[in-house]
Amino acid sequence: MFTFVSVALWLIGRVINDSVFVVQYVSWVPSVIYITFGVLCIAFSWLFALMAQPHLPASFAPDEESPREMMRFPRVGQRTRLIAGCTLLVASLSSFVFEYHMHRALRRAQGGASIRIAFWNAATDFIDDYADRFVSTQATLFALANPAAYCEWEKLRTAAGPNSDARRFGRLAVVSPWKITKWGGTSLDITGAKERRFGEQSFFDRGVAMFAELDAVEQFGRPIVVWVIDLPSDIEIPRKRMLSEARAALDTFTGPTLTTGKNGLDERIDAPPGFPEPDIIMGDFNTPRGSRSLQLLAGDLDHIYDRAGHGLMFTWDRERPMIAIDHIFVNQSIRVESYESRDMGRGRHFAQIADLSRAE
């Protein structure tokens, strides 16, 4: 029965996940799709049973000369549908509680002195009011990937606050309410990316990352490190390999690590190999939420959805949202007050917005 197939695929995707290349595609299908398909299969099964010729066993009453026909559905079919329904119910409850965290829907956002952060991969060149839309999130710490070709950076700096600072590396950028004490960026050299063409130009997207150390002593009691990531979108690349290669590139980073010199220009400084350990990671991972390979890069940081999210909260595609590939991770020193995936009205991705505070 198709319901059993649907539940089996759902279970395989959640247990094996993307540790096996072929199964990664099974794991990418949202649980709500498997559940909806299973419900429809059971519903159509009942409908077809009602429309089909019923099983009519003959029985004789003591005072009758002819058999009396009794309408009865085959017991095997009824039993199969009952077992399928119970199996689907268990899968549904498991998804709603442990994957979609629907029990959090009634929980109010926590209080506290928090700061709002926002990550947005607009993934388009032309948004006239790009900065205004981003500022409307009321964030003060902005992380950008593939911003619009025309961006009024001064508006983001103003929204970040009077002591704001900003750095950009390729298609990534950070606008901070605090001074950026050091920063750096690198290509991730992901293998397997296909050539992309835009008019007469072509390139291979091998992924890119940057870090920024922020002087956030006032908010968090110490400087914090933010990573911003943008990984290739080629679906043919095994995610386990891609995330492993990305982490290896970050761990073997040899610079340059930069800081602002006395003359206001960037200067190289000596630093140990590798990106400094992050407190926050934001980016477009092009890998669905729940994929085990994400932790190959994030390490022991928690996905912000697991702290404060609930429901589908898809991030792509904005016009037909079907999957969550944009993520924020935080470490244990940071408390998550709230989390939102917001439609910005333009671009390809939803913005990821969170209120964070210092963990007590």
Q: Is 84 left (phi over 0), alpha (psi -120 to 50) or beta?
A: alpha
Residues of the chain with pLDDT > 90, as a percent, come to 77
Residue pair 209/186 in contact by the 8 Å Cβ criterion? yes
pLDDT at 111: 58
Binned at pLDDT 50, 70 and 90, residue 231 comes out as very high
Q: Between residues 95 and 109, which one has the greater pLDDT?
A: 95
What domains are there in the chain, each with its CATH number?
2-99 (no CATH), 111-358 (3.60.10.10)
CA separation for the pair 122, 113 (Å, rounded): 29
Q: For the chain, what is the total number of helices (H) and then of strands (E)?
A: 10, 18
Q: Would the pLDDT of 119 be above 70?
A: yes
Query: Which helix (DSSP H) or strand (DSSP E) does residue 208 occupy?
Result: strand 208-214
Confidence band (pLDDT; 50, 70, 90) for 117?
Answer: very high
For residue 64, name the pLDDT band (cuts at 50, 70, 90).
low
pLDDT digits (tens, 9 = 90+) for 10-40: 999 999 999 999 999 999 999 999 999 999 9
Reported as a pLDDT band with limits 50, 70 and 90, residue 80 is confident
Task: Report residue 195's pLDDT band, with 50, 70 and 90 as the boundaries.
Answer: confident
Beta bridge partners of 165: 176
- Give the pLDDT band of residue 74 (cuts 50, 70, 90): low
Give the span between the Cα atoms of 105 and 90, in whole angstroms: 20
Phi first, then psi, for residue 269 (nearest 5°) are -130, 155
- In this predicted structure, the answer to whether residue 57 has a pLDDT above a threshold of 70 is no
pLDDT single digits (tens) 252-309: 999 999 999 888 889 999 999 999 999 999 999 999 999 999 999 999 999 999 999 9
The identity of residue 197, as a single letter, is R
CB 342 within 8 A of CB 328: no
Stretch among 67-81, 223-237, 341-355 having the lowest mean pLDDT: 67-81
Q: How confident is the model at residue 158 (pLDDT cuts 50, 70, 90)?
A: very high
Supply 234's token pair.
Answer: 């080629």
